[in-house]
Chain A
Amino acid sequence: MSTTDKEIENLKTGTSRRVNISLKKIYFPSVVILATIVLSTMIHGAGFEFALDFPIDTSKEIEGFLDDSVDWIVINFGDFFDAISDALKVVLGKLRDLLVWIPWPVMMALVFIIGWKVASLKIAAMSVIGLAILATVNLWEPTMVTVAIMIVSVFLSIVVGVPVGILAARSDAVDTGIRPVLDTMQTMPSFVYLVPGIMLFGLGNVAAIFATVLYALPPCIRLTNLGIRQVDASVVEAGRSFGSSYMQLLFKIQIPMAIPTIMAGINQTVMMALAMSTIAAMVGAGGLGIEVLRAMGQLKEGEAIIAGCAIVILAIIIDRISQGYIENRTS
């Protein structure tokens, strides 16, 4: 064979092989799709009942069990939840009164100073402009109420989330154990939390806080866990080499080094809590959420949009200030 013949031969086999490969790739999926269509058509054609309606239905039993469980908890631990509810109501009420009581110029100055010291002058100025917009659309008071609910919810989320995150970081068993719980908490439609919230705490702000905490908790736990696990192993090793105890390692090395990640988790918690404020309003939480709901109920779309934007502005202010804090700490 001459060289050109060989080249042509090579070219031919090369091409045919390429065609073979692509045929093989689509062969199996096409058979599966075809079989699915053919089988389904046949079953419907034959009117085969058994394969059309699933033969067993347990939904009633499980629903009943869940209803009974919630009832049981309410009956047996009612006093406990009432106590929590009362305490939270007092704290939240005082906080809301305080925030509303602070006159708007003082509040703006306060936010400006915080934004400046924690983040930057630019962010401080933008935050004040944001607050000014909220004030000019007559949403100052609902904003302060929402902020009060945020502070309490986020505080509770941190109090629960950071320690759980630390536990999960220190123990693989805890980590594996809580992972499905966190997945559930994050994917469960947030409305679902409202009902047990009402059952346990009654209508009002506390049920809203309960639902908000459940919804906003996972990122705090996850990022605390991640932050501590990500701490440079060689630094931990150096810490051990100097005879650090378990607690010294945790508080002198691991937690301080995880702070930026933990802060990112808290930032996400705040954002998710804000996202809940409209839903929480359905069980009686005040603030910007109820403004949105009320306007929607009365089909006043302009008002609803303005109140919605107010939530966005509030979210941006909190986000930029906390991001600035994280950046300043890490650099």
Chain B
Amino acid sequence: MSAMAPENAGKSRSEIQSEFNQVVALRDVSFDVKKGETFVVMGLSGSGKSTLVRCLIRLIETTSGSIFVEEEDVTSLSERELRDFRRTKISMVFQNFGLLPHRNVMDNACYGLEVKGISRLERYEKAQKMLDLVGLNGWEDSRVSQLSGGMQQRVGLARALAVEPEILLMDEPFSGLDPLIRRQMRSELAELQKEIKKTMVFITHDLDEAVTVGDRIAIMRDGEIIQMGTPEEIILNPVDDFVTEFTEDVSKERVLNVSAVSVDPDLIWTHSQDLTKLKDDLNTAGAQHVAFVNESGNSLGVLMRNDIEQIASSEELDHMLRESSPAILNSSNVRPAILKLANSETPVPVVDSQKKLLGVITQSSILKSLAE
């Protein structure tokens, strides 16, 4: 009887391990990665992340299932086709770098091109570009063993980029580095990705990292994907306690955008000139602030009740609206919004890209959603 038999599908990983003495590294793992997207796979150590990413490039053969890159099934490639696939379409960055200790930085960065049979002159030229890109200009002739961990991983990245792959696989590329360097490399990679726009599968065990680099995140446990979605979806709606525990350590303001923390204004006022009516309405509604809009719903500004009560003329009102805090876009990150709010005496209006008022953010609305 084999561990792969259909009747074993319901058994847990530990049951199969004790019954067949085989480890279920992955099962039921299914996902799509869009072109140019950074797909992050996250999970604790031993959850099967490395196995997953190695299956994509067939450093580990799958026992069943298929992997498609565009129209081509990677699992059915012949030995020679696989070699070509690895030489042209895909490359990988490793946790422990996997650099060649007997070569200098330049010749390490060239390795992929050399294997492809590209002439020395051409590969030096191409690799030089990548070394410049990752900030290693001037280190070409150094031995890799003389470099710091962060620099070594830059070499690894340059080597992977030099072959101009469409897909970049990264297996915990920054896990072996000091926390400070790790954070720096992480944000550098996020910057770099804006420029190179590779399709990327990024492995990490660190949700902070996942949130910084990932467009979408899959969370794995015991070889299975237990949740998949945008960073925001995962942090706001964790499917179970396991994911919740993961997400607890992440500062929410990094993934929230403004629309998630905005609320309806106390009062929306369109009849801009009628000051007496405004003051009456304020009293009846018990509103603390008023959001002003024009006829087409565009935001004009937000004012506090106390200020309005001292206004005598409509010119004064116009003046105050012009002076009030500028609106903030609903899709922007909540971090700069917090800063804006801190410098403002009134709630800040939230608008869409057409300047239409969608709501306001107040100190209490932000605090509430962060505390959730």
Contact = CB atoms under 8 A, between A and B. Distances in A.
Contacts of B112: 242-243
B25 to A, nearest CB: 16
B115 A248 contact: yes
A235 B102 CA distance: 11
A243 B59 contact: no
A156 to B, nearest CB: 27
B92 A238 contact: yes
Given A234-B98, A235-B100, A256-B102, A241 B116 contact: no
B87 A242 contact: yes
A300 interface: no
B99 interface: yes
A257 B101 contact: yes
B132 interface: no
Interface string B99-117: 1111000000001101110
A329 to B, nearest CB: 8
Given A242-B111, A243-B116, A234 B91 contact: no
A185 interface: no
B102 A238 contact: no
Nearest to B159: A242
28 contacts: A232-B98, A234-B96, A234-B98, A235-B99, A235-B101, A237-B59, A237-B94, A238-B97, A238-B99, A239-B98, A240-B59, A240-B86, A241-B86, A242-B87, A242-B91, A242-B111, A242-B112, A242-B163, A243-B82, A243-B83, A243-B85, A243-B87, A243-B112, A252-B100, A252-B111, A252-B115, A256-B100, A257-B100
Given A238-B92, A243-B116, A248-B115, A257 B85 contact: no
Given A243-B115, A243-B116, A248-B115, A238 B86 contact: no
Contacts of A257: 100-102
Cβ-closest 9 pairs across A and B: A238-B98, A243-B86, A243-B87, A242-B112, A243-B83, A241-B92, A256-B102, A234-B98, A244-B115
Given A257-B101, A257-B102, A259-B102, A238 B85 contact: no
Given A234-B94, A248-B115, A252-B114, A241 B100 contact: no
B102 A241 contact: no
Nearest to A329: B102
B86 A242 contact: yes
Interface string A205-244: 0000000000000000000000000001011011111111
A237 B60 CA distance: 10
A241 B84 CA distance: 11
Given A237-B94, A244-B83, A252-B115, 4 more contacts: A237-B98, A240-B59, A242-B159, A243-B86
Contacts of B87: 242-243
A238 B99 CA distance: 8
Contacts of B99: 235, 238
Contacts of A256: 100, 102
Nearest to B107: A252
Contacts, number: 61
B255 interface: no
A251 to B, nearest CB: 11
Contacts of B86: 240-243
B40 interface: no
B290 interface: no
Nearest to B143: A331
Interface residues of A, number: 18
A88 interface: no
Interface string B64-100: 0000000000000000001111110001101011111
Given A243-B87, A257-B100, A238 B114 contact: no
Nearest to B163: A242
Contacts of A253: 100
Contacts of B85: 243
Given A237-B94, A238-B92, A248-B115, A243 B84 contact: yes
B95 to A, nearest CB: 8
A253 B101 CA distance: 9
Contacts of B82: 243
Interface in A181-221: none
B42 interface: no
A239 B108 CA distance: 11
B337 interface: no
B52 interface: no
B57 interface: yes
B115 A241 contact: no
B160 to A, nearest CB: 9
A240 B94 CA distance: 12
B83 A238 contact: no
A259 B102 CA distance: 10
A259 B100 CA distance: 13
Contacts of B114: 252
B213 to A, nearest CB: 20
Contacts of A245: 83, 115
Contacts of B98: 232, 234-235, 237-239, 241
Contacts of A259: 102
Contacts of A244: 83, 115
B96 A239 contact: no
Contacts of B163: 242
Nearest to A248: B115
A241 B165 CA distance: 12
Interface in A245-271: 245, 248, 252-253, 256-257, 259
Contacts of A239: 98, 100, 111
B299 to A, nearest CB: 53
Contacts of B92: 238, 241
A244 B100 CA distance: 14
A243 B97 CA distance: 17
Contacts of A240: 59, 86
Nearest to A255: B102
Interface in B127-150: none
A170 to B, nearest CB: 16
